[in-house]
Structures are given as structure tokens and as C-alpha cells.
A and B are shown apart, each in its own frame.
Chain A
Amino acid sequence: MSAEANTPSRRPVRRNRVNWQDIALRAALPLLAVAIALAVGAILLLLLGANPISAYASMVTGVFGSLSGFTQSFVKATPLLLVGLGICIAFRASVINIGAEGQIILGAVMGTWFALVFRTWPGWLLLPSTLIIGFLAGAAWGFVPGVLKARLGVNEILSTVMMNVIALQLMNLLLRGPLMDPAGVTAGTFLAQSERLPEQVWLFRPEWLRQTQLHAGALIAILMAVVVYIFLWRTTIGYRIRAVGLNPDASRYAGIPVPFYQALSLTLAGGFAGLAGIVEVLGIHHRLLEGITSGYGFSGIVAALFGGLHPLGALPASWLFGSLLVGADKMQRAVQVPSALIDTLLGLVVLLVVGSQRWSKRWAEQRQIAAETARREAKAAAGGQEGQV
């Protein structure tokens, strides 16, 4: 956006041309951040008396060494991508949504509840409506801090953190009460999990992948990435959301109701996190259980930041972090290095990526200006020659 604004040329910017050099440079910085984080992790492991080479090797073989490991990286990438798409929308509007954990929970809880109540419905009706309910429940959980920010100026970072804890307690309350599996009650196990959902609402998994956890949710997530891309870059509402994030004062001056779009972006972000929650339920567990979020609400932020807050950048980013999470699980089992190592490194990646953002933006602007100057000089030179002839 800022680059476009800087262009003095009156010619319309050719926006369909892909600038590969720009993309490569943009991808290089985050990759460097991951490399640095892994190096810091290696030093940590050495200090703790573990062998970093065998730890990282177990991560790589854990992901690429087997079909189950490899497909698992896509299983983990699915919620990361869905959460990350919501984060893209919110962060693009300069709204920092830390509430994905709670929004995932609400999506999972309300979707599960809905599917259990209407369990007699046929699959073609029940599955889509359950997904929609999950989206709407997450959106409602994002709407609350969104409205509080828009109307009362409540800092959304703090309110979404609080909403996370409230959602967690709400789920615990329901899993120990009305949503608890009746089988667990009669058997006397009282496990904090819901009844198993009817099979017609499970997300599709082909026969030859029955040994894995891969499910059609991955396709939903990829489809959503395209949808969010079109929404943010090809619709008026998406344009306004980005405008609000880039320059709230100018947007206000242009007549865009800034608080409305901030609340809207937070609501949509909640919706995608809610969708991630219900997709986890319908794709993997087929029931609601404790720990459904697996920390995706936070790692999704990392994936989105890593993908440059671009829906299509979030695609490779979520796969990368999905693989890191799978690798961390395998590492924990193979060489007894706690997977908390990866949580630590994710935090470092966030710090490094935001720390470098300002500089990468500045470099991008400088390149843009240099290219523009070169183009104009070339044009002037060409014009001069024409004049001579």
C-alpha cells in the first residue's frame, strides 16, 4: 500500500505481475529468524546437556521419515492456517487478537453441542451447519472484545486474554456437566469429554489414509486461505480493513468508520478460530475433549506473522510450523527433550520477526524507490534520444 502511494507515476500499477525478487527477500528474513531461533535452541540444548544434533535429527526424521509423520504435519497445519487467517484479518486492521484460544474453544463447544442435538440430521445438512455454527460461535467470542474496543476503547489484547480464560472455564464447566459423555457417567469414569459425534458429521478421510489423522479439514483451510485473500485484496470491505490498519487517521478522514471495521475484523478473526476449533473436533477427535486447542491460538499467531500477514503466505508458514510441532512431539519421545523447547523457540521467532519487520519494510521501500528512479532515468534517456533523432 505505502509503496503504491509512493509511486509518482500516473500509470495504473500493474498489480498482477508477480515480483519474485520481492517475495524471495520477504521470505528470507523470516527463514533467517527461524534459523536463528533453532541456533539458540541448539545452545539451550547444549547447556541442558542434550545433543542438539540428535534432537533436531529426530525432528526431521519424525516429520519426513514416515507417512504418518508427514501427513501429521498437514493435520497440525490445518488449525494453524485457519487461526492464522483470522490473525491476518485482525492484524491487518491493527487489531491484535490474542483470543484465538478462547475462540477455538467456543467454536468446538458450540459446534459439538449443535451436532449432538441435531444428530438425526443427514450428513449433507448437519456437517455444513455444524461448521457454520462453529464459525459463528468463535465470531461471537471475537465480537465481544471487538465491540468493547470500538465502543469503550478497551485494549483488545487484555480483553481477549481474559476471554481465553473465561472460555476455558466455560468448557470445563460444560464438560463436567451437560456435555459430559453419558457413557462415562454410567461407567463411572467421568472423563471430561463429550459423547462421540455421529459418523455422518465426521470430516472425510479416504480409505487409504485410515492409518493417519489427515482429513478433509486441510482442504477447507486451503480453500479459506483463497477466500480470505480475495476478501482482503479484492473487496471493498477488505480494502477498508487494510486501510484502517495502515492509517486510521487517513481512513477516518476518508469517511471510513474505523471502530466498526476494527470490531468487524476481530469478529471475523474469531470466526476463523472458531472454525479451526470445530474442524479439530469433526476431523480428528470426533468429540469434544479437554486440551482441544493444543496452543494453536498462539502458534497460529506465529504462523500468520511468519507468513507476512498474507493469507497465501500463511499457507507455507502454517505447514512449516505444523512440521515443527510434529517434529517436537517426536523429539520428545525419541530423545526425551521436552517439546516445550519448540514453544520457547516460537516465542523467539515472534520476537525476531517483529524485530526485523520495520527494517524489512524500510528496505522494501528503498528498493521500490531505487527501481522507480532507475525506470524514470531510463525513460528520460530514451525520451532524450527520441528528441535527437
Chain B
Amino acid sequence: MNEVGTVAIIVGILTSAVRLATPYLYAAIGEAFAQTSGVVNLGVDGIMLVGGFAAFLVALTTGSLWLAVLAAAFVGVLMGLLMSLISVTLKAEQGISGIGLYMFGLGLSSLLFKVLVGTVKTVPGFPTVKIPLLGDIPYLGPILFQHSVLVYGAFLLVPVAWWFLEKTTWGLKIRAVGQNPAAADSLGVDVNRTRYFSVCLGAALAGIAGASLSVALLNLFQENMTAGMGFIAVALVYFGGWRPLGILGGALLFSAVDAMQLWMQVLGVKIPSDVAVMLPYLLTIAALAFATNRTRQPAALNVPFERGSN
């Protein structure tokens, strides 16, 4: 293979990586909000599916892409309310309720897709927006500055989420109820309301993550189209040590592996596609085993709050 070809391939892989990081970023940063407040929401994959379908349906029927994203966020919030009701108000085991939410979202999105759409259709998704000047930089331009709005949004979300969690009163409250809910409660922070807010905010972002697949990256909807991306997003939160910047690094690493296996198949590298598809999942397990910084884990993660019990 000549040198120009190699460079083109590397640029191609990196461009795909940046694109593919988008759903991971929305979903994982959303999950980070929920987990920082002390709630593990394992239903992310289900929320992504319902959100992705809502966005697809709205785009298909109205043609308005922004309305589609709004719809995804809205159904995300509804799913978040359901999760909060079960795990915050009714204080159910968070792991199992999350799996219930996942099954509910998976089933509901399949049901609605089959009844309302039926066959695989495509929608005109968000167009590629080339940022003036920056987009013309050789190599770097196509990798970073020739994407759709939702891709830019995902990367902008990283500093915004950091600022929100670290520098605002709301962020402080969220961190407080995740670290020491009893202390937060004694200082007048409404623990359950803060958790509802964080879970719903995270779920809205998970909905948008689904929308980024159905109206920006793939421009179609299929049953179970996320194929476990939501679970990888939850793993990324552990991997990233509950920090937006760490999550960004993890998301890029995963999307790079994903992009590489896609490109290997395109280029006909002699490796069975089944093995290639396994790679990101194997990497997730390895990352959970060897690269999780547990010292940063919110102390009250997975613990329902009850006055007087802790």
C-alpha cells in the first residue's frame, strides 16, 4: 500500500472515530450526571432506543430535525421519570430496575417501529457542516471540523458538563447527594428531587444519543439498533472516573477501536468480522477490570436515600 493511501486510511479511521464517539458521549455524560447523584441507571440502552425511534418517527413525519431531537429528549425525560419513580421514590434495587427499563425500552421501540413504520426506511439526517477556515486544515479539518451539528454538540457537552458539575450550585448539590445524602439533607438539599433531576437530565441526553444514531449518523431506525451501546456508555463512566474529560478519552478510545474494526472489514483485512465485532466488548471488560479508578466513585452510588437510616 502506498503512502498516500495509508494516510487517507488513517484520516478515514480518525474521522469515523470522532463521528462514532457521538452517541457514547451523550449517553455516558448523561449517565455521569445520574451516577454522580448516586443513581446507577442501567436502562440507558433502552432509553437510547426509545429516543432514537422517537426522533426517527418525528423526522419521518414532520421533516423537522430539531423537532426530532426535542422529541428524543422528551421521551428520554419520560423514561427518566419512570426510572426515578422506581429507584428513587420506591427505592428499588437500581441494577434490576435498570434492566427492567432496558427491556421495556427495547420492547416498546420494537413494537412501535413494527406497528408505525414496519419496514426499514431512511430519513434525510443532519447535514455535514464544514466549519469555515478550520475545516480547510489538511488532515485535521476533515477529522475534526467536517461533521453534523449533533457531533459538535457532543464534544461541546464535555466542557459544559464539567462546568455544570464543578462550578455551579446545581452541580454541587448533585455531587453532595451522591457523596453524602444525609449531610446534604441536613443542609436543606432535597435529595430525592436532586436525584430525579439528575436521572432525568441524564435520560434526556440518552434520548439524544439515540437521536444522534437515527437522524445524524445512520439516518434510519432498526430494532435493537444500539446493540448494547448504552451498556458500554455506562462502562465508560466507570472507565472515565466519573469525570467528563475521562469519559471523553474513553469514548474516543472505544470509537477508535470501533472505527478500526469497521475499516478492517472495508479493507478486507483477513480477520473474521465476528472477531472484529467482539473487540469493543472485550476492551470494555478489560477496561472495567484494569482501568477503573474506584477512589472517585460517588460514595452513595446505588444506595437509596432514607432519612434517619444512614
Which residues on A are within 8 Å of B, measured CB to CB? Answer: 44, 48, 50, 91, 96, 98, 148, 152-155, 157-159, 161-166, 169-170, 172-173, 176-177, 298, 301-302, 305, 337-338, 340-351, 354-359
B100 near A162 (CB under 8 angstroms)? Answer: no
* Interface Cβ pair total, 8 Å cutoff: 146
Contact of B90 with A355 in the complex, beta carbons under 8 Å: yes
Interface on chain A toward B: helix, strand, loop, or mixed SS? helix
Most-contacted residue by chain B among A50, A159, A163 (CB, 10 A): A159
User: Is there contact, CB below 8 Å, between A348 and B104?
Assistant: yes
The main secondary structure of chain B at its interface with chain A is helix
The distance from the CB of B233 to the nearest CB of chain A, in whole angstroms, is 10
Taking the closest CB of chain B, its distance from the CB of A228, in whole angstroms, is 20
Could you say which of A98, A157, A354, A358 has the most chain B C-beta atoms within 10 Å of its C-beta? A354
A347 near B281 with CB under 8 A, answer no
Contact call A346/B103, Cβ cutoff below 8 A: yes
Is the beta-carbon distance between A351 and B100 smaller than 8 angstroms?
Answer: yes
Q: Are A350 and B103 in contact (CB under 8 A)?
A: yes
B123-131, B163-171, B269-277: which lies at the interface: B269-277
CB neighbours (8 Å) of B95 from chain A are 96, 157
Q: In the complex, what distance in Å separates the CA atom of A354 from the CA atom of B85?
A: 11
In the complex, what residues of B have CB within 8 A of residue A346's CB? 103, 107
Given contacts A155-B288, A338-B114, contact A162 B96 (CB under 8 A): no
Given contacts A338-B111, A351-B104, contact A159 B288 (CB under 8 A): yes
User: A357–B116 Cα gap in the complex (Å)?
Assistant: 35
Residues of chain B touching chain A, judged by Cβ–Cβ distance below 8 Å, are 42, 46, 82, 85-86, 90-93, 95-108, 110-112, 114-116, 223, 227-228, 231-232, 234-235, 238, 272, 274-275, 277-278, 281-282, 284-285, 288-290, 292, 294
Pairwise interchain contact B274-A173, C-beta atoms closer than 8 A: yes
Closest to B118 in A: A338
A28–B223 Cα distance when bound, in Å, is 34
CB-defined A-B contacts under 8 Å, sample of 5: A154-B292, A158-B234, A161-B231, A162-B281, A350-B100
Q: How far apart sit A91 and B96, CA to CA, in the bound complex (Å)?
A: 10
Question: A201 to chain B: closest CB distance in Å?
Answer: 27
**Bound form: Cα–Cα A345–B179 in Å:** 35
